[in-house]
């Protein structure tokens, strides 16, 4: 019989010690972040949940660790949970550009997480039907001079009904679109 692994998280422990030091290092050390992601990937589900809890408890900013976990997580339910935790506890910068009307137009939602390259979701619609949805990194982004910077809420107010109709009619969404769910989340 294999001895049990030591517990990763104990809800009653204070933020101190070597684990808190590791979490602090990931902000400046890519090797530490890679090591944490590798360790997470090797764990079973209960231990992954415990490690996630420990990161939330110990990290001043858990964003990079949670994103690293998300990149190696294969379980859709755990991916969804991690995305929700990033939205709730992470530091995400968001911006929006909008041109046109509710009938014809284009919008670009941009987001940036600490330590990761910024990315954008571009949606183009005609006759109130989505024509294209694409995800690009900031280095690939070209913002049309006609697109005005707007409040994220204003862009989402225009996009939400279009996206909802697109999904309900069986329209396809690109891989990775779940990373932009925080734009459409209430609260």
Q: Where are the domains of the chain?
A: 17-89, 93-184
Q: Does residue 9 have a pLDDT over 50?
A: no
- The closest of 4, 3, 89, 80 to 53, measured between CA atoms, is 89
Q: Does residue 44 have a pLDDT over 80?
A: yes
- The closest of 146, 70, 164 to 115, measured between CA atoms, is 70
C-alpha distances in angstroms, 18 versus 14, 15, 24, 83? Answer: 12, 10, 10, 26
Q: Which residues contact 123 (CB under 8 A, 6 or more apart)?
A: 106, 107, 108, 109, 130, 132, 133, 159, 162, 163
Residue 137's H or E segment, with its range, is strand 129-137
Mean pLDDT over 169-174 rounds to 92
Give 105's pLDDT tier (boundaries 50, 70, 90): very high
**What pTM was computed for the model?**
0.59
According to DSSP, residue 56 is labeled: H
């Amino acid at each position: 019989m294999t001895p049990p692994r030591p517990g990763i998280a104990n809800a009653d422990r204070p933020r101190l010690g070597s684990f808190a030091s590791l979490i602090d290092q990931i902000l400046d050390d890519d090797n530490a972040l890679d090591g944490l992601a590798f360790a997470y990937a090797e764990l079973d589900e209960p231990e992954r949940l415990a490690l996630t809890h420990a990161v939330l408890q110990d990290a001043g900013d858990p964003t990079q660790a949670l994103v690293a976990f998300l990149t190696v997580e294969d379980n859709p339910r755990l991916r969804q949970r991690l995305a929700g935790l990033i939205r709730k506890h992470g530091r995400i910068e968001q911006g929006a550009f909008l041109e046109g009307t509710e009938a014809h137009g284009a919008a670009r939602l941009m987001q940036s997480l600490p330590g990761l390259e910024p990315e954008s979701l571009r949606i183009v619609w005609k006759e109130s039907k989505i024509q294209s949805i694409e995800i690009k990194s900031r280095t690939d982004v070209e913002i049309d001079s006609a697109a005005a910077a707007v409040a994220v809420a204003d862009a989402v107010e225009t996009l939400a009904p279009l996206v909802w109709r697109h999904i309900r009619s069986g329209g396809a969404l690109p891989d990775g679109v779940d990373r932009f769910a925080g734009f459409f989340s209430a609260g």
